[in-house]
Chain A
Amino acid sequence: MSGARNEILAAAGGASTDPAAIAAAAARLLDRVPGLRPDRVSGRPADAFLLRASSPAMGATAERVASLADFPAAVRRYLAAWTLAPALALQPHPALRALDWTGIEIHEAIGLDEPVAAGLALGGIAETGSLVFHSGPDAPTLFGFLPVHHIVAVEADRIWPWLEDYAAAFAPASQPRNVNLITGASGTTDIEGALVRGAHGPGHLHIVLVDPDPAPPHPDFPATTIAKSI
């Protein structure tokens, strides 16, 4: 197929320009970005993230806890609110394994229709309320897609303000097999445009922001737990 390759590259053209000049032109395009993004991030990124992640359009719920050690308690409250059995697939992350899961049956293999999975995101994006996962030994891709309920902890100091800030944080060559930006629960509008949650991915997403040093309560966001609002 090298014939096809060379033919396409020759027909595509534009390869003769100095690569440094092309790179400079590409960089100049990005200079325009800060002035024309939709105004979604003001104040502390973690607060803006929580606000967006819990907005009704997202189909997710969110709450704030002070420490990762409080995550199992948040999970227990969630399971109780939904009257779910106290069992879940736990993302094989050392920080999650180290927590006290007393009272909940924990397993690390995830089933095809796993009722509940709990995980830890690499970070979040304030602009869109997205969770960021990088696949790896402690973060299998399927954990974000197989469960019916996905409960995710994310640390406040890992919230990037804008999509570009996340992109700038990792060198291109360091990217894993999968980067998953997860923005709310799975949904489809494929039948008559009607929105239905839980098409193939999780129908329910609950985000637990681990924020040891919260700013004064955000005027638009109550400090109390939001549960079962979908």
Chain B
Amino acid sequence: MTTTAFTVRADRALADPQLKLAIERTTGTARTKRAAAVAAWPEFAAARMLGKDIKDHVIAHLGHYLAEFERNALASGAKVHWARNAREACDIVVSICRDAGARSVTRAKSMLGEEIGLPHALADAGIERVETDLAEHIIQLAGDPPSHIVWPALHKTREQVGELFRAHHRDPGAMATVEAMVASARRHLRGRFMAADVGISGANFLIADSGAVCTVTNEGNAELTTTPPRVHIVTAGIEKLVPSTAHAMSLLRLLVRSATGAELTQYTTFHRGPKRAGDPDGPSEFHIVLVDNGRTRMLTDGLADMLRCLRCGACLNHCVVFRQIGGHAYGGTYPGPMGAVLTPVLDGLPLSQDLPRACTLNGQCQEVCPVAIPLPTLLRGWRDRSWREGLEPVSVRGFLGIWRFLVLHPALYRLATAAALPAMRLFGRGGWIGWMPLAGGWTRHRDLPQPSGRSFMAQTRNRKPSA
């Protein structure tokens, strides 16, 4: 196996027992709760197809809905900006902040913000950024990127969070319990919400017929981020559109159950325009930055299905690879199966061709996806393209070349397997192989089952045809 940046990161993750424990605690709970929520909804399968059809409808008429959204957002008093790529998006946000004379901005968790590199852009502009989602606050203190799209601090154990808060909070208290840690973060961030000049959020949905932006949170940090400052900026991917509030409701039912197993998030908020005359609170400026960043290219590159993604994280929680290596090993903004499809779009296939292969194709991700994205098919598409573009390492191409030659010559293939089986048994101890030449990529982190006595071909040859 060729050593790449991905394999180095994956090796490091696999060697970290704390990480596996942290991943399993959160994703295990998420899987159990999602399963219960889906079991309590007999019509889930049909609702999932409706969700898929709503998103497909929007994607088929994306230009129409973007224009409608813009028209209604402008009518509500919002300012609408368009960004072709990450750099344009960051430039727009930084320039709005500068125009507002902003020294401090609060931010409610947005994966799109991470995707476009907004944290770095704000830092480069000398603007203080305060992350207000608890998990984002934790990783901001730790200097880590997010490791999950719903639980960005999933890789941190409670002990590690306690240490961070003791080091950074002015009044940390005892930190004996998770409750104490949450209370400390609340105290730490309380005043910062009110002191910010600009609040930045993402969008879970853009409502075309009203021009509203929908955000969902459980903590209440989004509204405390978007209400007190004088300026509210939304950064949103153009695929977040839905025709109307009613359409958003169907998708909310799917999104929340798939993400956390709840029926609805605690705070489902629609932001439409700046504050109105007579409103006691709310921003006087409301900006929406609509970001393409590869999305229209996905339409023509055979990846339109991926534009349905609601960012629920279910595919991560159920992925056998994610559960072993966690999010950081993937190296992109988005980890897990959906990340392995999106990262080649965002970072280019040459830098990410390992990701579509970090997959067993067991189909769990597609099965739990609330909008039925054929993730394994899309991943196979990237593998195919990686092969055609000659991006696979020489070792992989060489191995596949030999394998291809053997399977096209059955006699040689049988000879090779007949020789390989006894050789493998030489390395076996108690039914398992702990080390074997050419299998280090597997045996470094787990044992290989010792093969049974005879090959499949040999066994079927002697079997009598059944009646």
Contacts and interface: CB of A to CB of B under 8 A. Distances in A.
B228 A142 contact: yes
Contacts of B290: 8
A39 B161 CA distance: 40
Contact of B224 (A19, A145, A179, A196): A145
B57 A29 contact: yes
Contacts of A70: none
Interface stretch (A74-82, A184-192, A208-216, A221-229): A184-192
A5 B82 contact: yes
A14 B64 CA distance: 6
Given A14-B63, A182-B267, A190-B135, A200 B221 contact: yes
A173 B210 contact: yes
A163 B255 CA distance: 14
Interface stretch (A42-50, A95-103, A130-138): A130-138
Interface in A1-50: 1, 4-5, 7-15, 17, 19, 22-23, 25-26, 29-30, 32-33, 35-40
Contacts of A200: 132, 134, 186, 189, 193, 219-221, 224
A128 interface: yes
A175 B63 contact: no
Interface string B241-269: 00111111110110000001011111111
B112 to A, nearest CB: 15
Interface in B72-130: 72, 75-76, 81-84, 88, 92
A14 B194 CA distance: 43
B399 interface: no
B98 to A, nearest CB: 16
Contacts of B67: 9, 15
Contacts of A163: 249, 252-253
A30 B249 CA distance: 10
Given A14-B62, A192-B22, A177 B273 contact: yes
A142 B207 contact: no
Contacts of B223: 141-142, 144-145, 178, 180, 201
B419 to A, nearest CB: 49
B238 A172 contact: no
Given A172-B207, A177-B271, A177-B272, A141 B245 contact: no
A12 B152 CA distance: 31
B238 A38 contact: no
Interface in A157-188: 162-164, 167-168, 172-173, 175-188
A110 to B, nearest CB: 9
Nearest to A109: B280
6 nearest interchain CB pairs?
A: A201-B220, A15-B63, A11-B296, A172-B210, A199-B219, A36-B43
8 contacts: A4-B82, A29-B53, A135-B279, A140-B279, A145-B223, A186-B219, A191-B153, A199-B218
Given A167-B244, A172-B244, A191-B153, 11 more contacts: A26-B247, A33-B246, A137-B278, A144-B220, A172-B72, A178-B227, A190-B135, A192-B157, A193-B28, A198-B183, A200-B224
Interface of B: 22, 25-26, 28-30, 40-43, 46-47, 50, 53-54, 57, 59-64, 66-67, 72, 75-76, 81-84, 88, 92, 132-135, 138, 151-153, 156-158, 161, 178-179, 181-183, 185-186, 189-191, 193-194, 207, 209-212, 218-221, 223-224, 227-228, 238, 243-250, 252-253, 260, 262-276, 278-282, 290, 292, 296-297, 299
